[in-house]
Homo-oligomer: A and B are copies of this chain.
Amino acid sequence: MPGRLIGVGVGPGAPDLVTLRAARVIGAAEVVAYPALPGTGSFARSIVADLVPDGAEEIVIEVPMTRDRAPAQAAYDVAAERISAVLEGGRDVVVLCEGDPFFYGSFMYLHARLSGGFACEVVPGVTSLTACAAVAGRPIVARDERLTVLPGPLPDEVLRERIAGAEAVAILKVGRHLARIRSVIAGLGLTERAVYVERASLPEQVVLPLFEAPARAPYFSMILLTKGGDPWL
């Protein structure tokens, strides 16, 4: 029997925002895999450092941070081959994923390569979306409101059109696009409706009205924008 590929969402960053299921699956893992960035290591693994068993085999997926996607995809090709060999040998591989594996997660690159040949399971996790809302004390959507989730790297005109047409907006992966996104939101007259959050749920988290946001934002930052409506009704 080949092993199973198990993508496990470890949540937004606080170790206690891991689910009971994720904690159990990680704690029982023989083999864990996770992406790591050059220099900063693996955020996903750091979240569950206390849960990974001492004797577990660890497959580190070193992901080069280049604008060209080819080097990163080559890294996933290599990782998929290595994971494939473990699965064929009959052992499960637990892939650690920041947030949720299927919500802007790099787990998808492994899923695309391996789910055709092996049994695959996903343990959903708390996303940065709801973690940011929680620490900001800002409800995202209620009743029949529509939500639009937009990655920050999208071009201005796409952001502008999408923000204008939505009732609630979350802009993820703000990072180096902060100044540009801020201009788009200001142009729509919505700055006072927006809150900026970075590293939600971690000790170093930042929560500020958008107009007080710092000049530089890390990759793990988000802008939440809600246009209102009466929350009482």
B232 touches A109 (CB 8 A): yes
A103 at the interface (CB under 8 A from B): yes
A143 in the interface, Cβ–Cβ < 8 Å?
yes
Contact of A133 among B124, B131, B147 (CB under 8 A): B124
- Interface segment, A12-20, A57-65, A187-195? A12-20
Q: Quick one: which of A14, A21, A138 has the most chain B CB within 10 A?
A: A21
Given known A-B contacts A16-B20, A19-B18, A102-B133, A146 and B145 have beta carbons under 8 A apart:
no
A146 surroundings in chain B (CB, below 8 A): 148-151, 154, 158, 162
With contact pairs A19-B126, A101-B134 given, residues A108 and B142 touching in the complex (Cβ less than 8 Å):
yes
- Which of A37-45, A83-91, A115-123, A209-217 forms contacts with chain B? A115-123
A5–B204 CA distance with the chains assembled, in angstroms: 24
Interface size class of A (residues with CB under 8 A): 35 or more
**Copies of this subunit:** 2
Smallest CB gap from A152: residue in B: B144
Tell me the residues in window 90-141 of chain A with beta carbons closer than 8 Å to chain B beta carbons.
100-105, 108-109, 111-113, 115, 120, 122-127, 129-131, 133-135, 137-141
Provide the residues of chain B in CB contact with A122, threshold 8 Å. 133-135, 137
| A35: interface (CB < 8 Å) | no
The answer, yes or no, to whether A23 is at the interface (CB within 8 Å) is yes
Question: Given A102-B138, A122-B133, A126-B126, A19–B16 Cβ distance below 8 Å?
Answer: yes
B126→A131 contact, CB < 8 A:
no
Asked whether A130 lies within 8 Å of B103 as measured between CB atoms, the reply is yes
Which residues of B are found within 8 Å of A113, using beta-carbon distances? Answer: 232
Q: Is A69 an interface residue (CB 8 A)?
A: yes
| Residues in A lying within 8 Å of B, measured CB to CB | 9, 11-12, 14-21, 23-24, 69, 73, 100-105, 108-109, 111-113, 115, 120, 122-127, 129-131, 133-135, 137-151, 153-154, 158, 162, 165, 201, 231-233
6 smallest beta-carbon distances between A and B, as pairs? A112-B231, A122-B134, A16-B21, A147-B149, A124-B130, A100-B130
